[in-house]
Amino acid sequence: MSQDHILVFDTTLRDGEQSPGASLGVSEKLIIAEQLARLRVDAIEAGFPVSSQAQFDGVRLAASQIKGPAIVALARCIDKDIDVAWEALKPAQRPRIHTFVATSKIHMEKKFRKSEDEILEMAVAGVKRAKSYCEDVEFSPEDSARTGLEFLLRIVEAAIKAGATVINIPDTVGFAMPEQFGALIRTVRERVPNIHKAILSVHCHNDLGLAVANTLAAVHNGAQQVEVTVNGVGERAGNASLEEVVMALKTRVDFYGKSTNIDTREILRTSKLVSTLMGIPVQPNKAIVGSNAFAHESGIHQDAVIKDATTYEIMSPQDIGLQSNAIVLGRHSGRHGLKMRLMELGYNLPAPELDHVYQRFLEIADRKKEVFDEDLLALMSNETMETKETWSLAYFHILSGNQTVPTATVGLTHGEETVQEAAVGDGPVDAAYRALDRMINLPVTLQDYSLRGVTGGKDALGEVFVRVRHEGVTWLGRGASTDIIEASIRAYLHALNRILAAQVPGKHE
């Protein structure tokens, strides 16, 4: 591997999916994995197969469908984890088992009650077992940034001796400072005698807002692989953001002198897809992919940018796939045009689904003159193919005003029959949700409701995300419509249908 090249390991589907309430269905995972392959990441960590059937299925599907990037499955240094990870990974063109064990004093004592020697033994046995299945084995000493240096160096050397091809140094709790983390990576490079036999990787969390800075400091000090997530999603405050690390390396190639394989023009599209499917909005001022990242508000700036964009733009918007002349669809667009646009957005639909989506597209196009990419993404987030619609919306009627009791009448189709209920509530959405509860009768609590306009303008599509809690599990529901009450009903119904689908034996979400 060239010293000037940095490998991008994406863990959106594993660590990213550990964001609270962000769980993805299996086919949603595949849609994201396909887009990550288009983005040209080098490795996709697709899940933690032993942790649930859904995780296993997600890895298995990515392993059998995705060509190009390595497909990675996570496993603790435990025989069963490694065996199950391999079972899920088997069909992959380029499989990799990623095995880990905690090495910091606090984790070893409190989690395992084991000594350094016992942990080292677990690591060696785990790597060897993984190696018996698969040539490519990654080893992570979890909580490396808080691990005693001498033990860290010893366990890394032992893991490489046991067959690890990638050594990943995680800052699991986002504790490190950039200079310190950079120095740690340099020390690992300089003092582990067999380090040249493995790729040195880093994995940083963002608890102090330093995940990207730490990752870049590590690259500056010899790291060859960066573990990142799209939009920086992930456990707690998240992981280092893919787009920020990649664009920093590209924009400051003068400083780092490193390249990646990433097709940066796919960045924005990937960000929007992940945000929509995970139900995690991107803050407007987020670096690279926020809606304001390339917006110039002040007159002085606008004037200068018109004269020469580089006065206030250090990157070109086109480099991340931001197009001012994006194709816009409308009422007269045909199925083919819609299909092609959806493919570019990461959705490859077979004919029956396309027909269904086309009908929904026409409904939106009838209400809105122009249908933008954001509208299509919102529409597609409604059409989660794997969520069997046990209940579907037939019609609704709302009575609301500032001097009346909000009342909703909702009709739902359930198999062959249509049922109807009416309810009053604190507002029209509350009334509609009460009517739905009466018909579907699932014990759920609404934890979170958010509404956003997908694009600008009065006729914008409204997109609603809800999170509902059922038997200790949080479920995400999405709905989009030019009518915000309809979007709200669809979102709630989507969450309830997902719960019901997961209750059917053999159906995994």
Of 13-21, 106-114, 137-145, 188-196, the window that binds Zn ion (rule: CB under 5 A) is: 13-21
How many angstroms separate the CA atoms of 369 and 130, rounded?
55
- Cβ proximity to ligand KIV: between 74 and 496 the closer is 74
DSSP state of 282: P
Minimum Å gap between C-beta 356 and Zn ion is 38
How many angstroms separate the CA atoms of 88 and 57, rounded?
7
Least Cα distance to 339 among 363, 320, 357 occurs for 357
How many angstroms separate the CA atoms of 281 and 277, rounded?
10
What does the per-residue mask of binding to ligand KIV show for 428-467, with x meaning CB under 6 A? ----------------------------------------
Map tokens 């064990």 to a residue: 101
- Cβ proximity to Zn ion: between 203 and 470 the closer is 203
Of 15-23, 109-117, 318-326, 427-435, the window that binds Zn ion (rule: CB under 5 A) is: 15-23
How many angstroms separate the CA atoms of 228 and 270, rounded?
13
Q: Does 172 bind ligand KIV (CB under 6 A)?
A: yes
Q: Are the CB atoms for 235 and 23 separated by under 8 Å?
A: no
How many angstroms separate the CA atoms of 285 and 183, rounded?
31
User: Is residue 420 packed enough to be buried (19+ CB in 10 Å), middle (13-18) or exposed (0-12)?
Assistant: middle
Phi and psi torsions of 183, nearest 5°: -65, -35
Minimum Å gap between C-beta 41 and Zn ion is 16
Q: Are the CB atoms for 336 and 327 separated by under 8 Å?
A: no
Q: Are the CB atoms for 50 and 75 separated by under 8 Å?
A: yes
Q: What is the dihedral of CA 267, 271, 273, 278, to 10 degrees?
A: 150
How many angstroms separate the CA atoms of 231 and 206, rounded?
12
- Cβ proximity to Zn ion: between 229 and 481 the closer is 229
Within residues 74-93, the interface with ligand KIV by CB under 6 A covers: 74
User: Is residue 256 packed enough to be buried (19+ CB in 10 Å), middle (13-18) or exposed (0-12)?
Assistant: middle
Q: Does 19 bind ligand KIV (CB under 6 A)?
A: no
Residue selected from 6, 7, 9, 15 as contacting ligand KIV according to rule CB under 6 A: 15
Of 28-36, 167-175, 336-344, 499-507, the window that binds ligand KIV (rule: CB under 6 A) is: 167-175
The footprint of ligand KIV on this chain (CB under 6 A) covers a number of residues equal to: 10
| Amino acid in position 318 | Q
Of 10-18, 357-365, 404-412, 470-478, the window that binds Zn ion (rule: CB under 5 A) is: 10-18
Give 465's strand partners.
Answer: 450, 478
Minimum Å gap between C-beta 181 and Zn ion is 14
- Cβ proximity to ligand KIV: between 99 and 407 the closer is 99
How many angstroms separate the CA atoms of 211 and 217, rounded?
10
- Cβ proximity to ligand KIV: between 235 and 244 the closer is 235
Minimum Å gap between C-beta 16 and Zn ion is 9
Of 50-58, 165-173, 192-200, 397-405, the window that binds ligand KIV (rule: CB under 6 A) is: 165-173
Of 168-176, 194-202, 256-264, 478-486, the window that binds ligand KIV (rule: CB under 6 A) is: 168-176
Q: Does 498 bind ligand KIV (CB under 6 A)?
A: no
Within residues 112-141, the interface with ligand KIV by CB under 6 A covers: 140
What does the per-residue mask of binding to ligand KIV show for 346-365, with x meaning CB under 6 A? --------------------
Q: And the tokens for 57?
A: 């299925």
Residue selected from 7, 14, 15, 258 as contacting Zn ion according to rule CB under 5 A: 15
Q: Give the residues lining the site for ligand KIV (CB under 6 A).
A: 15, 74, 100, 140, 142, 168, 170, 172, 203, 205
Q: Give the residues lining the site for Zn ion (CB under 5 A).
A: 15
